[in-house]
Structure 1
């Protein structure tokens, strides 16, 4: 190493090869973990392999957290060596920054900052255990894991050109991320399914993550071996061995890789972010239209007229007029800004005016995006960027719903009090439009077609329509396909959390396939794979059905670049206008299959999801046929590969990592307890929730949550709860309620079962559940859940049931016989939470109550009922209350209190004073109540002897 002029070799007191920093870091880190493991196994083996469900011999290897946790002395061994590791750790980060820094480059600073942050958070979860402070331990642990992602990718991006080091970094980081999925799988097997031995397998994957994490940083030894740390005496005190300065210098001939690749531009990355956010706003606006329109037929109980707003997507038909087409292209920024009326709609309180505002937003957004695709068709690089933004916008919308319990925070049914981020979302939308719409490929004139036009505009429009419908109906929420294959407990398939992240990863993988392997994606082989996936999803259950759904998700996203790139060659009115019309027809068919009792010609489409899926794939097949006539230009693909694609892939990577982080954060604890275990009581309720839209067209989950919490409900049946359709926003109310209230949930018959939905939430573990579709030869299908819960060690059956409508008496008679047989057959204590459409003591009431069913009415003296009923047998009923709905829905909430392991008792009503406090209903709902909710009809709860 060269010295500065005037410096003498004698000034150098000592030299240290920097590779020893890497070796010291690696050795001390491994000593911390392995030392704790050896001490733990030697002293407390049986204790550290014990978990909440099993111990030795079912579980025989300890997890990392159990090993380094609270037990002495292994915790001390771990903390001692981790403390010693901190010095080499910070030196390693500093050396890496010096090695990789370069003028006018920000990335090395960001990576170094992330390395420091990661080191500090390691100290957080090391020295604050879950016993000390569970929340802060988790905060530091999650922060450490999230910081690991940019650290590893940043180190790979900045790696000097050392093939061996780069190969090891990719190997260790790739293995690290690959292990995460089986890690999650076996944790679910342990936590949810309680499989013996699963936690041991999980522990091996967890230890593998630790070893790989340390090994990744150990690779720095290949670069640091060319560095020396010099300890130099700058004041002539070397003979006294005074150490005054430490400095580092690179080897003369070491070459440092450029940031990502030469020409990296932060401005280009911001443009990509703005483009993707515009796509996110489009999908947010489009997916909000259906749920806003649905409010009106819901309240009218039939066609309302507002349904015509579904057709606002056909605005690209206007682009057939040359003057309007030129005007829209010239003023594309203004058109995009006008489309933001769909986001501004949340400021309007009147539902009718709000839905018109959303409709105008969809009209302008569809027009703007069609014009954008058309205007960019002469520049393949820019066209691909716009298409990627459109596809990533769908992914971002689905991730936002994953984070916000299937509600999009910028929808017009959201506002500040129910969890909306409308103002912030709108502000970002304005900035994104101003950033990304500065120019298009055309100044208003029709851009010439690049090359020849092959294929059919009509077939292409069918392909666009089928593709848009597939994206919206199946991929606009990460949990939709899971509910298609859900069949109840025990769990035999995917769960919305955490497996929603797998759906989102499949979508991103498919989009990458579409841009890197377009020829493969538009082939008939891929179409066959997608068709098989659609068939498996439609006809199969559990994991098998979900695997079909994943194949379909990959295929749908992979053909997005091909279809939209091909459609841009044709007239936008023909390709996109007619394409949106086909999409709308599929949307209506998608609704007709379940709403057949309320729409003209409905019986023709009754329960034909298979027809809709077949039509969707045939439309996509028409698009494949047309696109296959247009040869892919090798030159075009080469130009595209050198364009701005990498910035959109960076955004994709960030979105996927965000999805994984959300899955981790949202993973349920499954440690739920009832409100009054000391009394062995069950507080059970039934509520028809009107699809989680309140009387003023706001999402009502949080208001529902508040009332359910006020009533201290242990078990509740929800009816009209299936929202997994386009017209209902592809939502799931039960996710928020279950996670917030701490309850197990059974979604009930899925959206492909053509019912309006039934769901069960329970503080008690659901041991088993079966979904029933009751006889309905004329009217709407009647769903029922038959579930067995473990209440204080006693198995109790809970039935949640929604009978047919009043206009179909024969349906309701057959359904009453079916339910009576189910309830009579169970030898266990049972509760029915139901919507029966009967008068007490008349007609079918005598089938539901009495010898035919073995069930008793919770209060035979309550003559003022028509829809909701609570029945029971085999346990003591102690209380009953009717609670006003306020403006949440159109139906009250009925609640009953029961005590297990006690005889049924009598119908004698007693005063509240003799009832133990743990069996009383909350006082806060007496009189005027809270937030508009109070005990009504009786004006107070009833209690029984």
Structure 2
């Protein structure tokens, strides 16, 4: 057998801390030398950005310094290449220092360190100038890997208080710097604030300093190592002996006493992931129910009868029957499997049968989760895991919707053709159920089964109803509350991307409070703070309103932990069955406030979102009252002190951290580029359209945004108004189709009056910058509210006003008369060229038409000879109109697309006869024509109809 240690002369020996020092010095030299060279040779060039240069901007960013110019780019790359050697050694030494028997975490951290090193090489050697896409991919991967590396190093730190202290400070500085970094980047990119990029650059350089310094702390730990080079064959010509060999001293196997210090087990980690995925499936099925129910009253224009399916959530009432309760608890795996029918509902083409399939899935899903919580109530650690799985399932659903621009790829309204991943989602769900239900409940104590001595089940049920509704209506999509506070351009508040990541972060903070400080989560103090947040969200707009939104996000996630835990120890039929009945009442309540014109008793709650919010908080108050009275501090203390609980929590925190990193990466990739180009810029053509999109559900109950995108792109529409576009309610899935369309088509977007303004929605998409926009609610004393957007666009350097408008219904003539007068005056006050893209509900040349097209408004009809209109109209003034077309909708919605072409900068004929003279297409320049593909039978059911071809004008 070969000897374990070979004898030989020591050629070189040095302390392990020198690896850290060399890494630190060379890394800093790479950045500092590039900065010095860059400032010396190309100062004005490297501080110039897309909007400003010197003196508005006066300090260069890291990327501009290291990647844009020679020779600073080469100087940087030489030093960063040298850095790679000690960097790989540093990662290896850290693994040797922290490796423990039967512990996987050191290996995970070491692999993460290697990944960071490789991705660092990626973003430094592939600069944004070389390939912006790959540069971003490497950079995001590096930042994503930084969190587990940082947490892993903290968790594995040896007993060295000085090193641990420095690591905490530097890690806090690194992640704390990300907040102002993102803020000033948005100030630069979105608001175009002069000097903001310079401040951003300082925070970017601070990230570099903190990042390198964090790894430099290993010098304090590596003092325990001595690296020795031996000549075991005597070939060296140097000194025969430099040092005596010294046997390494054994290190005590002690870890920092914290949650992350627990031994890592892949088996238990997979259990947690499976539980969280099951929670994700629950929320995916529940959030889809509203959409498939909404399809029917949408087409019936009133109550259809199918709305009764929302009552499938009250299935936990069955748990009040002892035999049923026992049967369900003993067969939880089967019940969870049956709930997966909702993931297969996309295979059912008939809308009624699909609705019934989803309804059955919701019935089984609510029954399964209520029974799960009840069955684990006597075992606090396992109960906590199921509550965390359910709440983190909501968080996962929100992150997935953030990635898919508010859609969920496993909803029954999706399929392979519109972004669906239904089959994959179902397969993973099957494995997740098998994994998470492999251990049955341990049994239920008699006290828990009776539900006595622990407060009121009725109050607990009211709390469950309130928190379920709050979570679903406000937090099932990261952009819902952002759109509540949106007021148009210029941007004065948050936008869906990237600020959706802040909503997700607030949810995570709330969940951590509920997990580690359950007493605080269920306290009256935090309840009061939550009420303040709810009030700000409801009554204020822009950033003030959004601060309220973040506050209520934190509170709802935090309070869900003690409220569900309290309800689980009570009568399940009352706590969860009655609770979900209350949730259903709240769901109808928040629909009634906007659908008052179509539902019985609707006018009583017309536009009373404030009542909805007050009722929600009062219901949660009931739950807090009974939770405070039934959960003892001693129980919480025992749970917090349990090693099993600490270990279990660590896995959930890892998953939570992963979701946060994912949301940050999504926010980065979804950040608006604002480099949008119109389709025919050389011809200075503006193509405008109007379309009533029927809430983005097509005639067959499929989500329609992909089909909408295709036809809008193929028609080469530069500016389009979308009506019936507000989907930010439970019944519509808390969606926002405009996000997908704007990002995929490369357009600016104005959502229009937000969800708390009680309209069916109006939206504006534009290839041209939106300089300013104002949202209007037109007079509507009887019927539904009429929304309007008044926006000023920068069209080839000329300011053009665009109005998007949806009038009231035919049943309310006085509303429509008042609305026509309001809008006519509004358009008449504009001194700029203007376009109206509208839904007017009037016949051409009759009634209110003559108010819209009048001397007061100054507007002209795009085609006065088109007598076959009732709803959609395009009006204009001060522009040369060259074309008009009507395009069939296929099965996307119930309304056609109307499109008009205008040319900027050409003189407008004053004579009406000349202006309305129709000319053949052959006399029209190629760049001013409508696409040929829609002639004849067209494509996918879209074709020019009514006239059978577009009309062109002199």
TM-score when scaled to structure 1?
Answer: 0.97
Structure 2 Cα separation of the partners of residues 448 and 249 of structure 1: 59
Q: Which of 11-20 and 560-569 deviates more?
A: 11-20
Q: How far is the alpha carbon of 1:106 from its aligned partner?
A: 2.5
Q: How far is the alpha carbon of 1:901 from its aligned partner?
A: 2.0
> Structure 1 pair 667/596, CA: closer, same or farther in 2 (3 Å)?
same
The answer to whether the Cα contact below 8 Å between 2:377 and 2:444 also exists between their aligned partners in 1 is: no
The answer to whether the Cα contact below 8 Å between 1:25 and 1:88 also exists between their aligned partners in 2 is: yes
Instruction: Report the 3-state secondary structure (helix = DSSP H, G, I; strand = E; otherwise coil) of the residue aligned with 2:224.
Output: coil
The number of residues matched between the two structures is 939
Q: How far is the alpha carbon of 1:807 from its aligned partner?
A: 0.9
Structure 2 Cα separation of the partners of residues 113 and 264 of structure 1: 15
Determine the structure 1 residue equivalent to 2:890.
886
Which of 731, 742, 745 does residue 741 from structure 1 map onto?
745
Structure 1 Cα separation of the partners of residues 442 and 237 of structure 2: 75
Which of 764, 769, 775 does residue 765 from structure 1 map onto?
769
Answering whether residue 11 of structure 2 is matched by residue 13 of structure 1, we say: yes
Structure 1 Cα separation of the partners of residues 799 and 92 of structure 2: 61
Q: How far is the alpha carbon of 1:667 from its aligned partner?
A: 1.1
Instruction: Report the 3-state secondary structure (helix = DSSP H, G, I; strand = E; otherwise coil) of the residue aligned with 2:629.
Output: coil
The answer to whether the Cα contact below 8 Å between 1:724 and 1:730 also exists between their aligned partners in 2 is: yes
Structure 2 Cα separation of the partners of residues 741 and 314 of structure 1: 42
Answering whether residue 709 of structure 2 is matched by residue 700 of structure 1, we say: no
Instruction: Report the 3-state secondary structure (helix = DSSP H, G, I; strand = E; otherwise coil) of the residue aligned with 1:790.
Output: strand
The answer to whether the Cα contact below 8 Å between 2:451 and 2:571 also exists between their aligned partners in 1 is: no
Q: How far is the alpha carbon of 1:7 from its aligned partner?
A: 4.9
Structure 2 Cα separation of the partners of residues 649 and 109 of structure 1: 19
After superposition, what is the alpha-carbon deviation per residue over 1:45-73, rounded to whole angstroms, capped at 9, x for unaligned?
11111111111111111111111122111
Answering whether residue 340 of structure 2 is matched by residue 336 of structure 1, we say: no
Structure 1 Cα separation of the partners of residues 717 and 750 of structure 2: 16
> Structure 1 pair 271/73, CA: closer, same or farther in 2 (3 Å)?
same
The answer to whether the Cα contact below 8 Å between 1:510 and 1:558 also exists between their aligned partners in 2 is: yes
> Structure 1 pair 77/790, CA: closer, same or farther in 2 (3 Å)?
same
Q: Which of 462-471 and 167-176 deviates more?
A: 167-176
Determine the structure 1 residue equivalent to 2:781.
777
After superposition, what is the alpha-carbon deviation per residue over 1:489-531, rounded to whole angstroms, capped at 9, x for unaligned?
1111111111111111111111111122222222222221111
Structure 2 Cα separation of the partners of residues 127 and 299 of structure 1: 57
The answer to whether the Cα contact below 8 Å between 2:103 and 2:263 also exists between their aligned partners in 1 is: no
Q: How far is the alpha carbon of 1:685 from its aligned partner?
A: 0.6
Instruction: Report the 3-state secondary structure (helix = DSSP H, G, I; strand = E; otherwise coil) of the residue aligned with 2:261.
Output: coil
After superposition, what is the alpha-carbon deviation per residue over 1:425-484, rounded to whole angstroms, capped at 9, x for unaligned?
111111111111123435589674599623211111111111111011111111111111
The answer to whether the Cα contact below 8 Å between 1:873 and 1:904 also exists between their aligned partners in 2 is: no
Q: How far is the alpha carbon of 1:676 from its aligned partner?
A: 1.2
Determine the structure 1 residue equivalent to 2:917.
908
Structure 1 Cα separation of the partners of residues 499 and 931 of structure 2: 38
Which of 673, 680, 698 does residue 677 from structure 2 map onto?
673
Which of 910, 922, 937 does residue 931 from structure 2 map onto?
922
The answer to whether the Cα contact below 8 Å between 2:9 and 2:240 also exists between their aligned partners in 1 is: no
Answering whether residue 46 of structure 2 is matched by residue 48 of structure 1, we say: yes
> Structure 1 pair 518/103, CA: closer, same or farther in 2 (3 Å)?
closer
> Structure 1 pair 621/635, CA: closer, same or farther in 2 (3 Å)?
closer
Structure 2 Cα separation of the partners of residues 95 and 631 of structure 1: 47
Q: How far is the alpha carbon of 1:640 from its aligned partner?
A: 4.6
Q: How far is the alpha carbon of 1:323 from its aligned partner?
A: 0.5
The answer to whether the Cα contact below 8 Å between 2:59 and 2:198 also exists between their aligned partners in 1 is: yes
Instruction: Report the 3-state secondary structure (helix = DSSP H, G, I; strand = E; otherwise coil) of the residue aligned with 1:878.
Output: strand
The answer to whether the Cα contact below 8 Å between 1:378 and 1:450 also exists between their aligned partners in 2 is: no
Determine the structure 1 residue equivalent to 2:728.
724
Determine the structure 2 residue equivalent to 1:284.
284
> Structure 1 pair 657/349, CA: closer, same or farther in 2 (3 Å)?
same
Which of 187, 201, 208 does residue 203 from structure 1 map onto?
201
The answer to whether the Cα contact below 8 Å between 1:227 and 1:248 also exists between their aligned partners in 2 is: no
> Structure 1 pair 248/866, CA: closer, same or farther in 2 (3 Å)?
farther
Instruction: Report the 3-state secondary structure (helix = DSSP H, G, I; strand = E; otherwise coil) of the residue aligned with 2:873.
Output: strand
Alignment map for 1:168-179 (pairs within 5 Å): 168-179=166-177
Q: Which of 650-659 and 502-511 deviates more?
A: 650-659
The answer to whether the Cα contact below 8 Å between 1:375 and 1:447 also exists between their aligned partners in 2 is: no
CA RMSD of aligned residues (A): 2.0
After superposition, what is the alpha-carbon deviation per residue over 1:128-172, rounded to whole angstroms, capped at 9, x for unaligned?
222222222222222222222222222222222211112211211
> Structure 1 pair 249/933, CA: closer, same or farther in 2 (3 Å)?
farther
Alignment map for 1:415-564 (pairs within 5 Å): 415-442=415-442, 448=448, 453-564=453-564
Structure 1 Cα separation of the partners of residues 296 and 231 of structure 2: 83
The answer to whether the Cα contact below 8 Å between 1:326 and 1:446 also exists between their aligned partners in 2 is: no
Answering whether residue 118 of structure 2 is matched by residue 99 of structure 1, we say: no
TM-score when scaled to structure 2?
Answer: 0.96
> Structure 1 pair 596/21, CA: closer, same or farther in 2 (3 Å)?
same
After superposition, what is the alpha-carbon deviation per residue over 1:587-639, rounded to whole angstroms, capped at 9, x for unaligned?
00110111111111111111111111111111111112222222424144323
Q: Which of 129-138 and 380-389 deviates more?
A: 129-138
> Structure 1 pair 444/560, CA: closer, same or farther in 2 (3 Å)?
closer
Instruction: Report the 3-state secondary structure (helix = DSSP H, G, I; strand = E; otherwise coil) of the residue aligned with 1:366.
Output: helix
Answering whether residue 798 of structure 2 is matched by residue 794 of structure 1, we say: yes
Answering whether residue 715 of structure 2 is matched by residue 711 of structure 1, we say: yes
The unaligned stretches of length 5 or more in structure 2 are: 910-914
Q: How far is the alpha carbon of 1:242 from its aligned partner?
A: 12
Determine the structure 2 residue equivalent to 1:813.
817
The answer to whether the Cα contact below 8 Å between 2:91 and 2:114 also exists between their aligned partners in 1 is: yes
Structure 2 Cα separation of the partners of residues 560 and 303 of structure 1: 33
Q: Which of 71-80 and 898-907 deviates more?
A: 898-907
Alignment map for 1:68-467 (pairs within 5 Å): 68-239=66-237, 251-253=249-251, 255=253, 257=255, 260-442=260-442, 448=448, 453-467=453-467
Structure 2 Cα separation of the partners of residues 257 and 636 of structure 1: 25
Structure 2 Cα separation of the partners of residues 280 and 734 of structure 1: 24
Q: How far is the alpha carbon of 1:263 from its aligned partner?
A: 4.1
Instruction: Report the 3-state secondary structure (helix = DSSP H, G, I; strand = E; otherwise coil) of the residue aligned with 1:629.
Output: helix
Q: How far is the alpha carbon of 1:251 from its aligned partner?
A: 4.6
Determine the structure 2 residue equivalent to 1:634.
634
The unaligned stretches of length 5 or more in structure 1 are: none
Structure 2 Cα separation of the partners of residues 250 and 602 of structure 1: 80
Structure 1 Cα separation of the partners of residues 609 and 4 of structure 2: 82
Determine the structure 2 residue equivalent to 1:824.
828
Answering whether residue 626 of structure 2 is matched by residue 617 of structure 1, we say: no
Determine the structure 2 residue equivalent to 1:938.
947
> Structure 1 pair 867/104, CA: closer, same or farther in 2 (3 Å)?
same
Instruction: Report the 3-state secondary structure (helix = DSSP H, G, I; strand = E; otherwise coil) of the residue aligned with 2:689.
Output: strand
After superposition, what is the alpha-carbon deviation per residue over 1:1-28, rounded to whole angstroms, capped at 9, x for unaligned?
xx978854x5221112222211111111
Structure 2 Cα separation of the partners of residues 872 and 7 of structure 1: 91
> Structure 1 pair 60/450, CA: closer, same or farther in 2 (3 Å)?
farther
After superposition, what is the alpha-carbon deviation per residue over 1:101-151, rounded to whole angstroms, capped at 9, x for unaligned?
233333222222222222222222222222222222222222222222222
The answer to whether the Cα contact below 8 Å between 1:453 and 1:569 also exists between their aligned partners in 2 is: no
> Structure 1 pair 68/450, CA: closer, same or farther in 2 (3 Å)?
farther
> Structure 1 pair 250/613, CA: closer, same or farther in 2 (3 Å)?
farther
Determine the structure 2 residue equivalent to 1:753.
757
Determine the structure 2 residue equivalent to 1:869.
873
Which of 30, 33, 36 does residue 31 from structure 2 map onto?
33
Q: How far is the alpha carbon of 1:262 from its aligned partner?
A: 4.2
Structure 2 Cα separation of the partners of residues 409 and 636 of structure 1: 38
Instruction: Report the 3-state secondary structure (helix = DSSP H, G, I; strand = E; otherwise coil) of the residue aligned with 1:32.
Output: helix
The answer to whether the Cα contact below 8 Å between 1:463 and 1:620 also exists between their aligned partners in 2 is: yes
> Structure 1 pair 62/639, CA: closer, same or farther in 2 (3 Å)?
same
